[in-house]
Structure 1
């Protein structure tokens, strides 16, 4: 009798234990956290700084982001460096895709931005509505800053051509402060220069700086930024989830708030 009683108790305990495990649901392995490397143009810095904590908290993944100019990043990628996610200009990504460094069919447009003139918030806006008025405003300013063309910053390379086209390159040299990347807006906000030239998104993202507007007429330059998955990515699914956040409703709202035109 005692043995039968103990057997019944053991069976009952086992049944209770099984019921408890079933209530918890099937045992599944925890999702593996992934560390994604992102190589991005500095133009997307404000957007990614806001989206990174959103992505990391929702996915459990970790982002390591390398920012630089498009020309510098492209040079590094062509030399063999890679990343899970690459954010550059559309033409640069397409070229890297043909070279096998960006996964085929993974490129998606993110947003566009234009080369803009920026000044300190609250300062009178100069009239840059025509090429002649832009020329006059540039000659009248005491100091100006833009990305060093020698370092490959897209806006700096372009603006150097603009002032050359306007015939004022020599007059501008003595009052020009060249910066390595997107720091022109910061110098404007601090009052260290009167005028800055950069992507509109870079200027708009700096507290204390304001965008005057794009360059006039055919001097205007718009760049389309795109995103792609590195061909050597070890976790393309995680990379795709970041791209979906960037190009989806959440990313679109952040892009707009940073002065960019979402794709």
Structure 2
């Protein structure tokens, strides 16, 4: 009921702020995993209030996968909005693919850990507890996006377990880390909280300790080849608005300090 009330309020405000367009447009939105759950909650509200249709394309913010947003744009695919990790968006701006003036910050995302549903929920409240869990685990999975890059290159090193984790940890490409944990392919998995929570068959253990946490800022922008830049700007204004924040936070993300 609480989320419904927030959604209804957001819908009413979206309608008053943006109104229905004289001619409905179809906007293509490319979004990466961390903000996807929030986007899926907000997109129908915007579509209903604006009259526009949103064509959603999913893909990671970086990496070698063909579905990755930078690779899609490099192939010449068109998008009206891209939603992705902030520093990956900044790289696209530097390359001249995204309009710098369109950049909007949307939410902060923290890394969490999951185990398969039914398995014991280990304590990871301190660095020492997290280190012990990693050393004891038979297998560890992490994503091929921002959180996984941090875990592989920095977290293991900070905890002094890089050598021990190398033979039993793996970066999972294209699919949610929680899905391979749910199947029992890996004992524990790490990814941004908002990407873990929607997956069935897992138990969310919690966020990793704050002193070894990596906060990922999600941002959005309008590609230079956007077909509907004016309508795209209205969508970004809505996604970053105060009235959208209850839905954003309900998905495991944190609002950007304004």
TM-score range, shorter chain: 0.7 to 0.9
Instruction: Using structure 2 for the length normalisation, give the TM-score.
Output: 0.77
Does the 8 Å CA contact 1:111/1:261 hold for their aligned counterparts?
A: yes
Matched, 1:241 2:234: yes
Report the CA distance between 1:114 and its aligned residue.
1.2
Q: Which has the larger radius of gyration?
A: 1
Does the 8 Å CA contact 1:42/1:181 hold for their aligned counterparts?
A: no
Matched, 1:52 2:43: yes
Does the 8 Å CA contact 2:97/2:223 hold for their aligned counterparts?
A: yes
Identify the residue that residue 126 of structure 1 maps to in structure 2: 122
Determine which of 199, 206, 224 is the counterpart of 1:231. 224
Report the CA distance between 1:123 and its aligned residue.
4.5
Determine which of 149, 167, 172 is the counterpart of 1:157. 149
Identify the residue that residue 31 of structure 2 maps to in structure 1: 40
CA distance in 2, matches of 1:202, 1:55: 22
Does the 8 Å CA contact 1:182/1:202 hold for their aligned counterparts?
A: no
Identify the residue that residue 204 of structure 1 maps to in structure 2: 197
Determine which of 238, 254, 257 is the counterpart of 1:261. 254
CA RMSD of aligned residues (A): 2.6
Identify the residue that residue 216 of structure 1 maps to in structure 2: 209
After superposition, residues 25-174 of structure 1 pair within 5 angstroms as 31-71=22-62, 72-78=68-74, 80-120=76-116, 123-148=119-144, 153-161=145-153, 162-173=155-166
| Structure 1 unmatched runs, 5+ | 1-29
Does the 8 Å CA contact 1:205/1:259 hold for their aligned counterparts?
A: no
Instruction: Using structure 1 for the length normalisation, give the TM-score.
Output: 0.76
In structure 2, do the counterparts of structure 1 residues 258 and 198 end up closer, same or farther at CA, with 3 Å as the change threshold?
Answer: same
Report the CA distance between 1:122 and its aligned residue.
6.1
Does the 8 Å CA contact 2:85/2:146 hold for their aligned counterparts?
A: no
DSSP-derived class of the 1:105 partner: helix
DSSP-derived class of the 2:114 partner: strand
Does the 8 Å CA contact 1:112/1:223 hold for their aligned counterparts?
A: yes
In structure 2, do the counterparts of structure 1 residues 207 and 262 end up closer, same or farther at CA, with 3 Å as the change threshold?
Answer: farther
Does the 8 Å CA contact 2:29/2:82 hold for their aligned counterparts?
A: yes
| Structure 2 unmatched runs, 5+ | 1-20, 63-67
Does the 8 Å CA contact 1:84/1:230 hold for their aligned counterparts?
A: yes
